[in-house]
Amino acid sequence: MQRLMPYMAFPLVLIGGLFLCYGLFVPLGEPAIAPFVVMLLWTIPWMLLLEWWTPFRRKWSESHNDVLTDTLYLLFIQSLWPRLLSAVWIGLLASATIWFSENITLFAGQPWPHEWPLVLQLTLALVLAEFGRYWVHRWAHEVSLLWRFHAVHHSAQRLYWLNAARFHPVEKILLHIPETVPFILLGVNAEVLALYFVTTGIHGLFQHSNIRLKLGPLNYIFAMAELHRFHHSKIIRESNTNYGNNLIIWDLVFGTFYWPKDRDVAEIGLLNPDYPKDFTGQLKAPFHKAKLDKPADYASNPEKYQ
Ligand SMILES: [Zn+2]
């Protein structure tokens, strides 16, 4: 079981979550509520169990997990509360987008293919949203001004579930535009949107988790942890790859896919060891006069950091 779990965990939790979401539409009477229920009652318990049972890197856990008190502290004080916030955030975003999509028609004859099977509509929604997410994320790495904000996300020294929540609020708004505005413009229906936000919620938590995951050929579809860990590498040549949020397909199309299969990522984080580590320091960091995210000579001497 322990050998199979890295391959099965993400696909099973995702498929189970989607079926649960679908099955809740009728009893709940309102698709906007389903993502809340799926994230809180399905995804979070699975994340807690899997991070405890099969961690990717022991040193990325704060506790040794060998003392009951430590384990309880880790599970219920440090882990559960931020996870709840993350789940509630996804639920709110889903509800707001669904409300706009149902109540506001911006132009007549919205071209969304409502007659397609739900699974195809979900796939189309993912591919479309991922295109915008890919470019916002890629520009965040390549445009100096945007990188100042995105550096906050990359400042973590280890990868675990909480990194999924570590974004500067300015960037959070930019990132949500490609996964809300096109859906509202196209008139995507509530069921598809609920399934989309369940997918992105489950994927996001797994992508940053400290769970031992192996996806095999699915790594050519999903932007999962094996690929995303290289995106958090301290080596800039490695971190400027794998921009995908849920899917990796646009990285394959635009040539930024990166998967060295013979090794795991080495060090995680930013080059500057003095980057602020506290919450308010990080909120202010993008506006700091000095460039805090990379060494000052990076622009003139990039090969030094290859
Ligand atoms: Zn990034």
d(CA 297, CA 53): 43
User: In angstroms, what is the span from residue 245 Cα to ligand 1's centroid?
Assistant: 10
Which among 53, 15, 282 is positioned nearest to 172, based on CA atoms? 282
User: In angstroms, what is the span from residue 253 Cα to ligand 1's centroid?
Assistant: 18
User: In angstroms, what is the span from residue 204 Cα to ligand 1's centroid?
Assistant: 13
User: In angstroms, what is the span from residue 147 Cα to ligand 1's centroid?
Assistant: 9
pLDDT band for 63, please (50, 70, 90 cuts): very low
Q: Is the dihedral of CA 109, 110, 114, 116 positive or negative?
A: positive
User: In angstroms, what is the span from residue 300 Cα to ligand 1's centroid?
Assistant: 22
User: In angstroms, what is the span from residue 151 Cα to ligand 1's centroid?
Assistant: 8
* pLDDT tens digits along 204-255: 889 988 888 999 999 999 999 999 999 999 888 899 999 999 999 999 999 9
**Phi–psi pair at 173, nearest 5 degrees:** -65, -45
Which among 173, 245, 179 is positioned nearest to 206, based on CA atoms? 245
Which among 189, 230, 178 is positioned nearest to 207, based on CA atoms? 230
User: In angstroms, what is the span from residue 150 Cα to ligand 1's centroid?
Assistant: 7
Average pLDDT over residues 268-277: 82
Tokens of 77: 């004080």
Whole-number average pLDDT of the chain? 81
* pLDDT tens digits along 172-215: 888 888 888 888 778 788 889 889 989 998 998 899 888 889 99
* pLDDT tens digits along 13-41: 999 999 999 999 888 887 878 888 898 88
d(CA 283, CA 262): 37
User: In angstroms, what is the span from residue 90 Cα to ligand 1's centroid?
Assistant: 20
User: In angstroms, what is the span from residue 176 Cα to ligand 1's centroid?
Assistant: 15
**Phi–psi pair at 140, nearest 5 degrees:** -60, -25
Res 159 pLDDT > 50: yes
Indicate the domain borders of the chain: 5-305
Average pLDDT over residues 113-135: 93
User: In angstroms, what is the span from residue 136 Cα to ligand 1's centroid?
Assistant: 10
